[in-house]
Structure 1
Amino acid sequence: MSSNRSKGSGPRKGGAKRNENNRIYANPLPLLLEDSSSSRVRSVLGLVGLSLTRVSTPHCEGYFDPHTRSVWICERNDSMLLWRRGFFGKGDLSRSEPSWLARKLNDRKARQGKYLTSEEIREKRRADRRQFKLDRAAAIAAVAAEAEEIFEKEGRVIVPALSGPEIPSGATWRPATPLPETEAARNDSEEKRENEEETLEDVEHLQLTLFEAFFLSWTLDCLDILHPETDEPMTLRETWMAFQHAHLAPPIPDLPTPELQLDNPFLVHYVAYHHYRSLGWVVKGGIKFCVDYLLYKKGPVFTHAEFAIVVCPVYEDPADQEISTTNLQNASPFGWHWLSTINRVNSQVMKTLILTYVTIPARSRLSTTVLSSPACLGEYSVREVIVRRFIPARMRD
């Protein structure tokens, strides 16, 4: 019986994990579209351009921290919701996903003898490798000492063997069996384990950048930002002004608040963040690859980032840059050496470099009074330039 399935159409490796990720991270944004009507009703309403779909908006809470220029999400349910629906934020005790509690629970199970964590497996392998080298060196030294003793007693010259039944090899060597745990030690470990179970609590929080927090609060209306001192929800205008001031100068008591500027770093970088988020990309920080942002098609758990973004501010009026006090990064022309370095770093990790030019409106055309409202973002524009590294050996065709 012949099969119609092609040779390469079998089940792909990691299919179960991929399906689980598709289920967990099915929603690209915290908002959910709910439609309880039947298919017949939907088809009738679709003919006249109507729909009964309802947008369900969750409401999360976070604390604004001006010192770290971030918003902290302390409730675990809110943290997991924002991470699993759009990959917003980062766990302060994790590399990305807030998984500190899960790792601690795994460590506890490992100490109970159920399994070893990946870190413990790595350390055990390193310890076994060190012990193998010591045992092999001791066996070779013993054979050499025996040959030396035979030469002294009998005068026969024997070349010490570096292999054989007495010399352990990687295929024959086995680590020594650990001694059985005593009853007292077992009781102490069980008591310690019970104490850990009673005191273990989740101390990790999700840390949002100000760009992510404002996008969630203003664009999606699913985040309430609390004042760090009063614990009261901040209005949209208070949030907008606080985020701008946080990027102008560190909060120092008894010093006058700096004036808002059109070239505020928060405005420039938020324009780029909002631009790519509105196009459906998952935007994450790119400091690891010397860039401002990384763009993911679906999220970090699915694939690597495809594009690396460098935000390049451009003044509509060059005279504004001469009198500016913000000292924006990449606002001045950069050299080819810098550009080649950044491009090579990202080319080696299969990322396309994009220079995102954000145009800052001129002071002569726009007054700084418009900065009191997010409506001023409409005065900024975005242009993109893709930089590709030319490799003669690969691009001859």
Structure 2
Amino acid sequence: MADTPNIVSATSNLHDAPSASVNTTSSTQVKPKSRPSTPKGPPLHQLYALPVPIRTFPLPSFYPNNPISLFHVIYAWVGQLISPPPAEPAIIYQGIWSPETRSVHIKDPKSIRALWEQGFFGKGNYSRSEPNWLKREQARKGNNGNHIAEDVTAQRREERKMMKWDRARKEQEAIQRTRLQEAWVAPVGPMELLALPNSEHDLKPGYPNDSLNGTPTQSIITNSTEGLGLSSGYATPNGDATLANATAVDATDAIADGKDAVPALPDMNGYASPPHTPTSPIKRRKSVRFSPKVDSTTFQLSDPPNPNHGTQSNGGVVNGNLTNGSSPSSQSAKSGPFESISESSTTSTSGPTSSELNSEIVDKEHLQLCLEEVFYLVFALGALTVLNPVTGKPFTTSDLFTLCRQTSYIPPRMKNLQPDDPFLIHYAAYHHFRSLGWVTRPGIKFGVDWMLYNRGPVFSHAEFAVIVLPAYTGPWWKTEGRQPPRKSWHWLHTINRVQATALKTLVLAYVDIPPPFDDELGATEIFKRYRVREFIVRRWLSNRNRD
């Protein structure tokens, strides 16, 4: 009963929705705290103002309770009649069909930025999503002062890692102090009682005792062993006192040198300090340089682990050097015939060379558009033309429609096309959600067909994950006995579990398949026969969903 899905349905016609609309839904978002180290750029709401690569000129709103608003509507309407706005789309972008990748490539840098900023279409072939490979290369070579999303994400992850490391260090110190305090055992034997200090001269500084009964009144135990480069731990059953002797000797040496004296622990059952459990020796790490003189870097046992010492996910060293892995002698000693090799190996990971700085960076990235995005830009908006790589001439809308249907099969099918072509089913759902104002992007990362964003990936995460399923509900399909592909309950539970972990709502979009039609029909007449039904699948929990 706890995992019973709650399904909410909604039905709409594909041809009833407008071809392009502006999403007016806005949510109040808490602005993150400003970071002084991060350079500020243009506001996101200005940079991504247009939801699609066309501009609209709507009339003012009319309010029945305010007659003056009627004059505003008439004034704007007359103004557009006298001086009509320019035809849209004002700019038509060009792309090249790629039969190898079954997508369209946009290679003009201005067109790439325009299609990304005006609707988040496509994906950079060298980037995760946003085509910012050139900015990342410029930032890597030090020629770009603007911040990029990857750098901001890496900085935030580094800050979280340092915060977690500092928190873990404080927790370990608190646990160590508690262990030292709990390791003290009250003296019970006659020899231990006689060994207790009975005068102020015998008392150790920092450990006040009660003069009446000779027992400590407060156990003020600090990290004395940590300051001397030693480690402490629990008391062993056999009462090992090697750590106590070393602590007493090091404390005497520190006092003789004029340093801050670290108080020693009082006598406990005949021992100078609480015994500890011997642990396995810590492995020492070495740093070898390409030089005739090999300098090994060792670490003191009391040194905390440096969080900057490690490798990144791509195999490079953090910040290009080993902050805790190079000794002062190895940093200062630079001699020998292999010194240039050592410098080149160090600078290759730490930063760009002078030749790289002087060389001009060529933008090698292009934007990849999937079949649904291409046909939406060509058919619904008219903002894109696709060129044939063989002839160099643009495809017509009907030719591109047939090409998308043929290449949606694996391998491509040149004839015997069906009404349940993969392209027809997925484009019906894509056009449906785009027309309703959602930013629709491929969702293969989360195991679904489409991801729905309220305004775009730069503003917030996707709120809904859509799976497109064909539905043969017409009477013609019932006579033919055609059934949709069967999905098991385990499949639905797996998909829903993934989306729940990613804080997304699963949407099942059923596309009603019409009976077979003539291939000579246009795309408009064909898509009028498709209907999209939406079902939201959520987990129902009896202890959380009472309201």
On whether the aligned pair clears a TM of 0.5, the verdict is: yes
Distance 1:56 1:313, change over 3 A: same
Aligned residue runs from structure 1 range 125-274, under 5 A: 167-169=302-304, 175=324, 176=326, 179=331, 185=343, 192-195=353-356, 197-250=358-411, 257-274=414-431
Q: Among residues 80, 98, 101, which one is paired with 1:68 in the alignment? A: 101
Instruction: Decide whether the 8 Å contact of 1:320 with 1:362 is kept in 2.
Output: no
Superposition pairs of residues 86-101 of structure 1, within 5 angstroms: 86-101=119-134
Q: Which has the higher contact order (CA 8 A, sep 6+)?
A: 2
Instruction: Tell me, yes or no, if structure 1 residue 44 matches structure 2 residue 75.
Output: yes
**Equivalents in 1 of 2:307, 2:73: separation in Å?**
70
In 1, Cα distance between equivalents of 2:496 and 2:307: 48
Residues 74, 206 of structure 1: 8 Å contact kept: yes
Change (3 A) 1:122 1:380: closer
Aligned to 1:313: 470
- Residues 292 and 395 of structure 1: is their aligned pair in 2 closer, same or farther, counting only changes over 3 Å? same
Aligned equivalent of 1:276, options 433, 451, 467: 433
Deviations 1:54-106 (A, max 9, x none): 34421111111233221111111111100000000111111110011111111
2:142 paired with 1:109:
yes
Question: Are 1:296 and 2:296 counterparts?
Answer: no
Q: Which amino acid aligns with 1:80?
A: R
1:121, distance to aligned residue in structure 2 (A): 10
Q: Distance in 2 between matches of 1:120 and 1:15?
A: 14
Give per-residue Cα distances to partners, 1:113-137, cap 9 Å, x unaligned: x9x95769989x89xx9xx9xxx9x
Helix, strand or coil at the partner of 1:388: strand
1:169 positional shift: 3.0
- Matched residue, 1:380: 530
Provide, for residues 329-361 of structure 1, a one-character-per-residue CA deviation record: whole Å limited to 9, x for no partner. xx3232222222222221232222211110111
**Residue in 1 that maps onto 2:48:** 25
Change (3 A) 1:53 1:172: closer
Which has the larger helix fraction? 1
Q: Deviations over 1:361-382 (max 9, x none)?
A: 113xx33443x54431111111
**In structure 2, distance between residues paired with 1:198 and 1:29:** 36
Counterparts of 2:327 and 2:524, CA distance in 1: 67
Letter in 2 for 1:345: V
Matched, 1:13 2:32: yes
Count of residue pairs the alignment pairs up: 357
Quote the sequence identity (%).
35
Match for 2:486: what amino acid?
P
More displaced 10-residue stretch of structure 1: 13-22 or 283-292: 13-22
Q: Is the 8 A contact 1:69 1:246 kept in 2?
A: yes
**Matching residue of 2:495:** 342
Structure 2 alignment gaps of length 5 or more: 1-27, 59-70, 170-225, 232-241, 247-270, 279-299, 309-322
Tell me if structure 2 keeps the 8 A contact 1:360–1:380: yes
Larger Rg: 2
Return the letter of the residue paired with 2:44. N
The CA distance in 2 between the partners of 1:225 and 1:269, in whole Å, is 20
Deviation at 1:212, TM superposition (A): 0.3
Structure 1, unpaired ranges of 5+: 1-8, 142-146, 325-330
C-alpha separation in 2, matches of 1:25 and 1:343: 31
SS in structure 1 at match of 2:528 = helix
TM-score, normalised via structure 2 length: 0.55
Q: Which residue of 2 aligns with 1:5?
A: none
Q: What TM-score results when the alignment is normalised by the length of structure 1?
A: 0.73
Counterpart-to-counterpart distance in 1, 2:33 and 2:480: 52
Q: How far apart, in 1, do the equivalents of 2:353 and 2:155 lie?
A: 19
